[in-house]
Protein backbone atom coordinates (compact mmCIF):
# COMPACT_ATOMS: atom_id res chain seq x y z
CA UNK A 1 0.00 0.00 0.00
CA UNK A 2 1.31 3.39 -0.99
CA UNK A 3 0.89 6.29 1.47
CA UNK A 4 0.70 9.92 0.37
CA UNK A 5 0.08 13.20 2.11
CA UNK A 6 -2.74 15.46 0.92
CA UNK A 7 -0.20 17.72 -0.79
CA UNK A 8 1.44 14.81 -2.63
CA UNK A 9 -1.97 13.53 -3.73
CA UNK A 10 -3.01 16.96 -5.08
CA UNK A 11 0.23 17.33 -7.01
CA UNK A 12 0.03 13.77 -8.33
CA UNK A 13 -3.59 13.89 -9.51
CA UNK A 14 -2.56 15.72 -12.67
CA UNK A 15 -0.84 12.45 -13.69
CA UNK A 16 -2.91 9.67 -12.07
CA UNK A 17 -1.33 6.89 -14.18
CA UNK A 18 2.03 7.69 -12.56
CA UNK A 19 0.49 8.07 -9.12
CA UNK A 20 -1.21 4.66 -9.14
CA UNK A 21 1.13 2.71 -11.44
CA UNK A 22 3.00 0.77 -8.77
CA UNK A 23 0.33 0.50 -6.06
CA UNK A 24 -2.98 -1.31 -5.93
CA UNK A 25 -4.14 0.84 -3.03
CA UNK A 26 -3.23 4.39 -1.98
CA UNK A 27 -3.75 5.79 1.51
CA UNK A 28 -4.01 9.60 1.76
CA UNK A 29 -3.07 11.12 5.10
CA UNK A 30 -3.39 14.53 6.74
CA UNK A 31 -1.09 15.24 9.67
CA UNK A 32 -0.23 11.53 9.79
CA UNK A 33 -3.85 10.39 10.10
CA UNK A 34 -5.60 8.56 7.25
CA UNK A 35 -8.36 10.55 5.54
CA UNK A 36 -8.95 8.59 2.31
CA UNK A 37 -8.21 5.25 0.69
CA UNK A 38 -8.11 5.03 -3.10
CA UNK A 39 -8.71 1.63 -4.68
CA UNK A 40 -8.45 0.53 -8.32
CA UNK A 41 -11.72 0.13 -10.21
CA UNK A 42 -11.13 -3.47 -11.19
CA UNK A 43 -10.68 -4.83 -7.67
CA UNK A 44 -13.66 -7.01 -6.83
CA UNK A 45 -13.89 -9.25 -3.80
CA UNK A 46 -13.89 -12.91 -4.70
CA UNK A 47 -17.18 -14.59 -3.86
CA UNK A 48 -17.15 -18.30 -3.14
CA UNK A 49 -19.54 -20.47 -5.05
CA UNK A 50 -22.47 -22.06 -3.24
CA UNK A 51 -20.97 -25.53 -3.84
CA UNK A 52 -17.71 -24.48 -2.13
CA UNK A 53 -19.66 -22.99 0.76
CA UNK A 54 -21.78 -26.11 1.26
CA UNK A 55 -18.73 -28.38 1.00
CA UNK A 56 -17.20 -26.54 3.97
CA UNK A 57 -20.30 -26.85 6.17
CA UNK A 58 -20.70 -29.63 8.69
CA UNK A 59 -23.93 -31.55 8.20
CA UNK A 60 -25.87 -32.91 11.16
CA UNK A 61 -26.34 -36.68 11.38
CA UNK A 62 -29.96 -36.52 12.52
CA UNK A 63 -32.53 -34.81 10.26
CA UNK A 64 -34.05 -31.63 11.67
CA UNK A 65 -37.62 -33.00 11.57
CA UNK A 66 -36.57 -35.79 13.95
CA UNK A 67 -35.00 -33.29 16.36
CA UNK A 68 -38.10 -31.06 16.24
CA UNK A 69 -40.38 -34.07 16.80
CA UNK A 70 -38.35 -35.19 19.82
CA UNK A 71 -38.48 -31.66 21.24
CA UNK A 72 -42.27 -31.53 20.83
CA UNK A 73 -42.65 -34.90 22.56
CA UNK A 74 -40.56 -33.67 25.49
CA UNK A 75 -42.84 -30.65 25.94
CA UNK A 76 -46.01 -32.73 26.28
In the chain, how many domains are there?
Answer: 1
* 57 domain-assigned: no
Structural domain for 15, as ranges: 2-38
For position 18, which CATH number holds? Answer: 3.40.1620
* 75 domain-assigned: no
* 24 domain-assigned: yes
- Please tell me the distance from the alpha carbon of residue 22 to that of residue 19, in angstroms, as a whole number: 8
- Please tell me the distance from the alpha carbon of residue 73 to that of residue 49, in angstroms, as a whole number: 39
pTM above 0.75, yes or no: no
Q: For 15-63, write each residue's pLDDT tens digit.
A: 777 777 777 888 899 999 999 998 877 756 778 888 888 888 888 888 8
* 17 domain-assigned: yes
* 21 domain-assigned: yes
* 30 domain-assigned: yes
Amino acid sequence: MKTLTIREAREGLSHPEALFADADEVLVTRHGKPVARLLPVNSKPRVRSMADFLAGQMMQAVPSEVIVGMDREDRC
